[in-house]
Chains A and B, each alone.
Chain A
Amino acid sequence: MTAQTSAKRPPPAADIRPPAARRRARRPGFVTAALGLPVAFMAIVYAYPVGAMLLKSVTEPTAGFGNFTEAATDRTMWHVLWITVRMSAEVAVLTVLLGFPVAYFLARTSKRKARFLVLLVVIPFWTSILVRSFAWIVLLGDNGLVTKILEPLTGDGQGMLYSESAVIIAMTHILLPFPILIIKGTLDQIDASLPRAARSLGAGPVRAFAHVYLPLAVPAIVSSGMLVFVIALGFYVTPALVGGPKQSTIAVVIAEAVQVNFDWGMAATLATLLLILATALTMIVRRLTKVKGLVTL
């Protein structure tokens, strides 16, 4: 027996097909359980309640799309939607406008300084929304700090609590950490030498910023603005506490439907519409910006 037998090349893949069935089926077991049990848990404790709620929009009080037509023909509903969208948009624009300079500064300053300053952003982020709304009640109330500071300007001691401005200010405060952290995350990845390179090629600092930094940051700016918008759409605590009846958002109306009118069907319908809107917007943002994980640790 000599070498001629071993001289063959490996057969080209086209000649041989993999066996139709693996001889050994992969043992299910631990991996399946590790995935299956959490999925089962989430299905029962999460997907079921949400599904049941969605179902109620077409079954309560009677089967059919009556709730949806009722909501669509109700003028106040359209007004509520308009208020919600408008306030959310205002908050989104404000948070991005205020957030970008901070993010830019944090990304460019020394690591040590940034680490400390980021704490000033993250601590509010971790403070409960309820407490932060409460803080604005204190600040904007008739005896509040802001009211007192503004007294020479406004002329009276009237606080701006229960107004649209109050809601906007409080929500901007609550959602501001999102754009800061998201935009900073992107700016951190832009090589600092890029704007410098642009400058060495003759661009002034403003032009270098506008032509190099800004375009690279645009996806993060857009996605964080959209994210704030989506979160703001579903806000309940702040409009309910800081705003007045005129600032009723979708969430406030949903709560009222349940707590005041005991109209489960309408509450479910509005929640369904809100969920559809939020999901659609989130998907669009993802498509646009390819920002995948919102939260990475």
Chain B
Amino acid sequence: MSEQASAGVGAPVTDERPARPDPPAAAEDQVVFSGIHKWYGDALAVHDFNLAIRKGEFVTLLGPSGSGKTTSLRILAGLESATAGEVYLAGRAVTDDVPEKRNIGLVFQNYALFPHMTVAQNIAFPLKMRRMKKADAAREIDRVLTMTQLTEFRDRYPRQLSGGQQQRVALARAFVFDPSVLLMDEPLGALDRNLRDHMRLELKALQQRIGATVLYVTHDQDEALALSDRIGVMHRGVLQQTAPPHELYEAPVNSFVAKFLGKSICLPARRVEKGARTVLEVSGVDGRVLVEAGNDCSTADDAEFMIRPERLRISAERPDAADRNAARCTVAAHVYLGPQIEVHLRTAEGAELEAMVPAELRADFEVGSPHWLSWGPDDCRFLPRVD
């Protein structure tokens, strides 16, 4: 067990505030997961999950299917029980509470609207369960109907609504009772692309208007980047990294995060020297590659070299700057993407990688033509390999 413990796998690493095993000290922490484990029989679904969410913060769990993100969310909602660990809501341990006692709003992936109730009745349901006075409830319902632009549909049944409208009803129903946290499990997953982009904006605007604390689950990186204050990337039941979107993109902590979020070039590499700058031997790249010490994230000497395609520069001649990494290559293909072109290159040692360059430079990259690739030591990273 010591190995796992020292690994601290799930800790929100790039976050300044490490997860704490004890009840949250900071008053602004609305949700705290502390050391959550979930076993299904002999299968480990969530491993040592630690995460703190501030009041009003929008946090997204991002990961491929089966990575444990939905399980974590359902543990917070009380729909799954944790095998070990505690969940705190507004400073109170709720791990043993039944779902109806937690005051959590949950938007389900398929919305889970009650088919035998109208829109207004669906939204009234949580208020009724809380024995709110009729007049007060009516006012609240009107308020959220207006906010979600559903007023004209109040007497329709869910099956009479479009997907986007159903989604808004599910949302309205989940926040009308002012829950302490709003959970969303792939809420846009069932919508088509255009509608999804539109609802994304609505969702963000609404969240900011009501100041809700949100835990959002998705496998769509665009959604996560657009909506979140912070993103937690999950993989195989482990929270890999939690950070604001730009930081996650700029400074991924391992090759899984790098590959999952945005395009990245990852090549096997070996560290030969450590100091102010790490010196790497990168497979497929001739010569030595320099990496800023701050970008060296690996404990092991064998790991992955990573760079984003837009950080690569392509030139006809070898760049002069002495500390700039460079590699000789030829153009294998290029793909026109509108504002940019993606140039596929093959290095002299046979590594294949692609670079992003402005579209107007298209004429320079004839297939088969020789070029030089270059990048600075702070453009690339040396990352532990996680597949």
Indicate if the CB atoms of B9 and A10 lie closer than 8 Å: yes
Determine if B297 and A7 form an interchain contact, defined as CB atoms under 8 angstroms apart.
yes
Q: Which of B3, B14, B83, B383 contacts A7 (CB 8 A)?
A: B383
Give the dominant DSSP class at B's interface. Answer: loop
Known: A8-B7, A16-B4, A19-B39. A3 touches B13 (CB 8 A): yes
Which one of A6, A13, A19, A23 contacts B11 once the chains associate, using CB atoms below 8 Å? Answer: A6
Q: Is the CB of B386 within 8 A of A7?
A: yes
Which residues of chain B come closer than 8 Å to A9, judged between CB atoms? 236, 238, 386
Q: Which residue of A lies closest to B81 (CB)?
A: A24
* CB neighbours of B239 from chain A (8 A): 6
Question: A3 and B4 in contact (CB under 8 A), knowing A10-B237, A26-B81?
Answer: no
A18 touches B13 (CB 8 A): no
Chain A residues near B7 (CB, 8 Å)? 5, 8
B241 touching A4 by the CB < 8 A rule?
A: no
Contact with A along B231-269 (1 / 0, CB 8 A): 000011111110000000001011000000000000000
User: Chain A residues with Cβ under 8 A from B11's Cβ?
Assistant: 5-6
Residues of B contacting A17 in the complex (Cβ-Cβ under 8 angstroms)? 42
CA distance A47 to B18 in the complex (A): 60
Taking a contact as CB atoms closer than 8 A, the residue among A3, A11, A13, A23 that contacts B253 in the complex is A3
CA distance A288 to B254 in the complex (A): 55
Is B129 interfacial (CB 8 A cutoff)?
Answer: no
Which one of B41, B96, B236, B298 lies within 8 Å of A4 (CB-CB)?
A: B298
Determine which residue in B3, B42, B44 has the highest number of CB atoms from chain A within 10 A of its CB, and name it: B44
B18 touches A1 (CB 8 A): yes
Instruction: Tell which of A6, A10, A19, A26 has the most Cβ of chain B within 10 Å.
Output: A6
* Interface of A, helix, strand, loop or mixed by DSSP: loop
Asked if A111 is at the interface of the complex by the 8 Å CB criterion, the answer is: no
Kindly list chain B residues whose C-beta atoms are within 8 Å of the C-beta of A26: 81
Q: Is A75 an interface residue (CB 8 A)?
A: no
A2 at the interface (CB under 8 A from B): yes
Residue in A closest to B233 when the chains form the complex, CB atoms: A6
Contact (Cβ within 8 A) A1 B13? yes
- Which of A1, A5, A13, A22 is within 8 Å of B83, CB to CB? A22
User: In the bound complex, how far is the Cα of B81 from the Cα of A22, in angstroms?
Assistant: 10
A4 B42 Cβ-Cβ under 8 A = no
Quick one: given A1-B13, A18-B41, A19-B39, are A6 and B81 in contact (CB under 8 Å)? no
Among candidates B43, B95, B236, B241, residue contacting A6 with C-beta atoms closer than 8 Å: B241
Instruction: Name 24 interchain pairs, CB-CB below 8 A, sorted by A.
Output: A2-B297, A3-B241, A3-B253, A4-B384, A6-B11, A6-B253, A7-B254, A7-B297, A7-B298, A7-B386, A8-B384, A10-B9, A10-B44, A10-B47, A10-B235, A10-B237, A11-B3, A11-B9, A13-B44, A15-B3, A15-B4, A18-B42, A23-B84, A24-B96
Q: Which residues of B contact A (CB under 8 A)?
A: 1, 3-4, 7-11, 13-14, 18, 39, 41-44, 47, 81, 83-84, 95-96, 235-241, 251, 253-254, 297-299, 383-384, 386
Interfacial residues, chain A to chain B (CB-CB below 8 A) = 1-11, 13, 15-19, 22-24, 26
